[in-house]
């Protein structure tokens, strides 16, 4: 999995009372998974990203280019 450099956005949701996890580089739904704790959100996010990549590969879809930011 380390060869993939996709952003994972984790944001607290008062409405849902949990941390929401999304992947801005992938089109479609904004939030892909969640977690009751930040750590759980990270773990679930990694699993969701792996599943998302496997789904793209299974259908021979081209993976989106990861957004890469440069540190100053």
CA distance 52 to 72: 31
Residue 72: the pLDDT is 72
Residue 2: the pLDDT is 54
Residue 11: the pLDDT is 97
CB 25 within 8 A of CB 64: yes
Torsion of CA 63, 56, 71, 44, to 10 degrees: 170
- % pLDDT > 90, the chain: 79
Map tokens 């993939």 to a residue.
4
Residue 70: the pLDDT is 81
pLDDT digits (tens, 9 = 90+) for 1-53: 556 789 999 999 999 999 999 999 998 888 999 999 999 999 999 999 999 99
Show the CA angle centred on residue 36, arms to residues 33 and 37, nearest 5°.
105
- What integer best gives the mean pLDDT of the chain? 92
pTM here is 0.85
């Amino acid at each position: 999995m380390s060869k993939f450099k996709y952003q994972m956005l984790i944001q607290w949701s008062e409405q849902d009372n949990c941390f929401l996890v999304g992947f801005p580089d992938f089109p479609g739904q904004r939030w892909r998974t969640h977690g009751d704790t930040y750590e759980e959100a990270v773990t679930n996010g990694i699993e969701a990203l792996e599943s998302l990549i496997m789904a793209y590969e299974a259908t021979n879809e081209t993976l989106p280019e990861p957004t890469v930011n440069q540190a100053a």
